[in-house]
Amino acid sequence: MMFRADVITLFPELFPGPLGASIIGRAMNNGLWSLNATQLRDYAHDKYKKVDDTPAGGGPGLVLKPDILARAIDDVSPPDDPRPRLLMSPRGKPLTQNYARELSKGPGAVIICGRFEGIDQRVIDQRNLIEISVGDYVLCGGEVAAMTLLEATTRLLPGVMGSNQSEMDESFENGLLEYPQYTRPAEFEGQSIPSVVTGGDHKKLGEWRQEQSKKLTQDRRPDLWNKFKSED
């Protein structure tokens, strides 16, 4: 089963963008996943291709119209489509490694990229959109957020990454941030690779890496550290 991603956006020319490069792009070229970007304006019926209007009740900015967006969603994702419908939104639930892994095990996703002040709440409700956030900040639109979600997800598809062990050692996979990494040369600007890394004692190296992960997580992400401790 191929992972199929459909993105509804006002800027389809932004895709695939970085998703077409490196291992993610090779995986797409090799048929491990597919990406289609749909222009929302194609579903507007007036000659100006207008997709937005002023907020009901007043306020700044513009809101994407529900009828136009609903037509686009229904065309891309008919009722029997098993894929979740995701709306990239700063008020959504946070994108996590666990959620990316959950998505990677499914048939794909339909992703809606908002613009302006957002989209009409009725289309969120009527089309069962799941709101997803990539962080506590606001972007101009959902396109970069959609790329982030897709890269985090597609890299986990079978056959994309070269090493399962490398994947499991990364940040967030075990509830901790990743330990420091080193490579040649053995000395760089007067600083050597820690002897435990090159000493050949795999037990000591494993213990050192675990302690480094714990220290980094405690220092930089106390929220993750508290969760890790509560589950330990």
Task: Report whether CATH 1.10.1270.20 matches the domain 164-231.
Answer: yes
State yes or no: pLDDT of 194 exceeds 60.
yes
Q: Please state the rounded mean pLDDT for residues 216-232.
A: 93
State yes or no: pLDDT of 200 exceeds 70.
yes
Taking the C-alpha atoms of residue 35 and residue 3, their distance in angstroms, rounded to an integer, is 9
CATH 3.40.1280.10 residue window(s) in the chain: 3-154
Nearest alpha carbon to residue 67 among 55, 89, 88, 50: 50
Q: Please state the rounded mean pLDDT for residues 79-95.
A: 97
The confidence score (pLDDT) of residue 83 equals 98
CATH 1.10.1270.20 residue window(s) in the chain: 164-231
> pLDDT band for position 135 (50/70/90)?
very high
Summarize pLDDT for 33-53 with one digit per residue, the tens.
999 999 999 999 999 999 999
State yes or no: pLDDT of 167 exceeds 80.
no
Contacts of 49 (CB under 8 A, 6+ apart): 41, 42
Q: Which fold has domain 3-154?
A: Alpha/beta knot (3.40.1280)
